[in-house]
Structure 1
Amino acid sequence: MHSKTLFKQDFLKKWVLGLQYYGCSTKEMSISERTKAIKLSSDVAMASCRDGKTCWSRAVITDASKQGENKSLVRKILGNEYEKLTKYSIRSLVCNKRVRSKKILRKSRKSRPLVVLASTVIAKRMVNKRTRMLKDLVPGGDSIDDSFLLEETLDYILSLKAQVDVMRRFVSASESLICK
């Protein structure tokens, strides 16, 4: 519980830095540009709170820093950790690859009835389809090994949940200040 609170506090600090960056900008922004700026600053802030410990956080930071106009925002939010967290490209991310045992593979190839083989093929297709869909949802998912995909996805979902919670509290605090 304590780490969740620290994560939210860290996220809020970094997100406010990102919002200040766009607030100090002399450029007039449309509603859609403001929406993109808020989303980008919150995503980079959320990813930076994970300190590059997960593949999805490194992917978010790398994607954001690749775009020239976003580089200074990423640099502002990350501060001293900018060089450390942006030196990796998504292609160089090695996300916990495991090697399967040859013995297990040999045992699984023993002859089985045709019905079992057909159901196994169907089950494998369904799992592969859902795995591809999950990899599309998680930033940097295509570089994540299948054995760690659920762990990365869970971490990403928990971070998104914390992000939404902080943003809701921020909006309600802003509304209460405006109403007074």
Structure 2
Amino acid sequence: MKLVILDRDGVINQDTGDYVRSAEQWQPLPGSIEAIARLYKAGFTVVVATNQSGLARGYFDLDDLEAMHAKLTQLVEAQEAELGAIFYCPHGPDDSCKCRKPLPGLVDAIEAVFNTSAEGCTFVGDSLRDLQTGLAKGCRLMLVETGNGATTRTQLEHSPGAEAEFSLGGHAVTIVADLAAAAELIIEQDV
């Protein structure tokens, strides 16, 4: 199985900085839906792994989250493509769960549902916690500069243990402008 794991906010859709709380607020980034469709049509299973602590904080409810994900799914389907699944952590930072990134629980669940290993697949995110999650599971790491990506790039460049501006814990991090550029590179590198 050719698997690609995407973070949601800041990678696929605009991140408000104050939680995306409704389907109306959920707006795709330019080219992101088309990028998912390109990956799908190139034979990849595209899965979303997203922290949604706004649920635990009471900023939105499950119906709101499901409406956001229905909107995403419908936009992808309108491109004659499909998402493999959307996995989310509903917990807050103090809930001691195993699924909140940077912990690998969401990827563990993806592996279980799809009966595959995420090792070697590409994990695309815009935050350090996304990269840490992918790193813990042996994924190839890709950082988009949308969302929090530019800030994360600065963190990588100045973090202790980062051997170079494109490294995290000794593992390469590929930095791209956006999800469209990520999809192009993933497809190009597929052998």
Q: TM-score, normalised by structure 2?
A: 0.29
Q: Kindly name which structure, 1 or 2, has the bigger radius of gyration based on alpha carbons.
A: 1
Kindly indicate which of the two structures has a greater share of residues assigned to helix: 1
Kindly indicate which of the two structures has a greater share of residues assigned to strand: 2
